[in-house]
Structure 1
Amino acid sequence: MRTDPMRPPEAPRDEVPPPPRRLPVFDDEFHDGIDERRWIPAYLSHWTTARRAAARTLSVADGLELRIESDQPDWRAEDAPLRVSNLQTGAFSGPVGSPRGTHRHRGDGLLVRTHTPTRLLFAPSRGRIEITLSASTDPGCMTAAWLVGTEHRAPTEAGEICIFEIDAAAVGMPTTVRTGVKSHHDPRLITEMRGIEVPVDAAAAHTWTVIWDGRETLIGCEGRLVGRWAQSPSYPVFLMLDLFELGGSGGAYPKRATLHRVRGWDVPYG
């Protein structure tokens, strides 16, 4: 009997459904640093410059550190103070001066400053992703993971699944996070974010799961569902993993969050 990859298996409503039986199409434990066949180590470089967008990272025994360092420039001068180190699984932009590009997340008229060729390294339209990480506890930092519409086919394919946003000040036992769906420029979605507590200390290694199929989004932490949304993008999305410093310089440097493993399937179930 074949399993329908679009139908969730039987599982308690508060548990994350089991992963697909097939091997993941994306699996990285960062043993060799950044695999540039999978990741672009820059944050939305089309809206800024390569130097400002570039991630600061360090390979460590249990994965890869995303870092904010004392000499790191702000992502854009007009957004200061805002520094970020990010990995993303693709890129797209229009020509310089164009408003076309992945993740038009600001309302102040983003225009392309650096043309970025289209790269679809991992851009599923549905599937399941598991992210194991240790979040930052450094002052002023936020650790985040998003799935964002690539927009390379149409500017309305712009929705976002916010897997988690974890402020350093909210890390503990339990940890408070933000999670949900953001419509951005997709009229088919509505923004529906939630602030929730998860019974983990997010500074320690723990795993988040997102499952989406074009109709529904499930997000879980350590095997337990934390939210279910009756909507999801139905077009290609990039995965973005981020460490932000939002409040200006302060505290000891480098500031860090650690990525331990990322696995992805291009089917949600099955």
Structure 2
Amino acid sequence: MIADARLPEPPDREPDFQDDFTAPRLREDRWVDHYLPHWTSPERSRARYDIDGSGLRLRIDADQPDWREEDAPLRVSNLQTGVFSGPVGSRRGTHRHRPDGLVVRTNTPEGLLWAPTAGRVDVTVSASVDEGCMLAAWLVGTEHLSEDDSGEVCVFEIDAAAVGERVSRARCGVKAHSDARLTTDMTEVALPLDASKPHTWTAVWGPAGTIIGCDGVIVKRVPRSPGYPLFLMIDLFEIGPRSGTDAAYPKTAHIHRVRGWDAVSAPEGT
């Protein structure tokens, strides 16, 4: 934590993007319920989830397939605010996060549902405490304008094993990926809270840099930020071999609320 460093208040206007998951069905004008579907097949990328009265519950089910056979063991349920890829067989697409040659396998028409270049996002979540799981929120370069636009604002990554009743740990910062204009700057932070309960994570990014906070307190500052459109992704992963019997599933995490504002720059002095 950064002592006495408070996040700026959100803009005094309605969010440009918001969802509290009270509708009976997921809003298709807001979310794509697949994890990077262009790199794999629809049955592997499709999210498992339900809306249960406290928000949207992401699930990893006992019968859920690995996201890609090459990445096994790895299962994921994800919501993201858009999709982009080149044609089947190409290497163009959002979040080329592997250096060993991802190739488009599924045609995914371009959809920019929410992709701000600068802004603020508040994400209220309850992290998973299920063995092998990680809950994450990322803002990733869409790459629809250029392959160089691949940087990421990592709002949080919370491993289930790092969640405690009094202290929880999370990773946050900026990842360059293949954007030579950025430098990866990630930090693990210790927070005096139980991350399995609802807490609000915030990222504010723009020309002045990036700030990341939790429950109104800044936990990370980075002097740079990606300067191009970014999709928001919120993901529940199960990493490694399936653990436990079928009774251990589903493994879950909650998204309670998301609010986003376009073109809100991080304050000077970041």
- Which band: TM-score by shorter chain? over 0.9
Aligned pair count reads: 259
Q: Distance in 1 between matches of 2:194 and 2:147?
A: 38
1:200 aligns with 2:196: no
Q: Secondary structure at the match of 1:241?
A: strand
CA apart distance, 1:49? 0.4
What is the rounded CA distance, in whole Å, between the counterparts of 1:159 and 1:13 in structure 2? 29
TM-score by length of 1: 0.94
- Aligned-pair distance for 1:198? 1.2
2:170 to 162, 168, 177: 177
Segments of 4+ in structure 1 off by > 2 A?
Answer: none
Q: CA shift at 1:199, angstroms?
A: 1.4
Determine the structure 2 residue equivalent to 1:125. Answer: 117
Q: Determine if the alignment matches structure 1 residue 257 to structure 2 residue 249.
A: no
Tell me how far apart the structure 2 counterparts of residues 215 and 111 of structure 1 sit (CA, whole Å): 35
Please state how far the C-alpha of 1:250 moved relative to its aligned partner. Answer: 1.1
Instruction: Measure the CA separation in 2 of the matches of 1:201 and 1:86.
Output: 22
Counterpart of 2:35 in structure 1 is 43
- Residue 138 of structure 1 corresponds to which residue in structure 2? 130
TM-aligned CA deviation for residue 13 of structure 1? 6.0
| Per-residue Cα deviation, 1:73-92 (whole angstroms, up to 9, x for no partner) | 00001111000000000000
* Aligned position for 1:190: 183
**Secondary structure in structure 2 of the residue aligned to 1:104:** coil
Measure how far apart 1:185 and its partner are: 1.3
Partners of 1:26 and 1:79 in 2: how far apart?
32
State the 1:135 CA deviation. 0.3
Residue 17 (structure 2) aligns with:
26
TM-score by length of 2: 0.94
**Match runs of 1:210-229 below 5 Å:** 210-229=203-222
Post-superposition shift, 1:246? 0.1
**Could you say which residue in structure 1 is the equivalent of 2:227?**
234
> 1:117 Cα shift?
0.9
Q: Percent sequence identity over matched residues?
A: 58
Task: Please give the root-mean-square deviation of Cα atoms over the aligned residues, in Å.
Answer: 1.2
What is the DSSP-based 3-state SS (H/G/I as helix, E as strand, rest coil) of the residue aligned with 2:13?
A: coil
Question: Which residue of structure 1 aligns with residue 263 of structure 2?
Answer: 267
Deviation string 1:55-113 (CA, Å, 9 cap, x unpaired) is: 00011111000000000000001111000000000000001111100000111110100
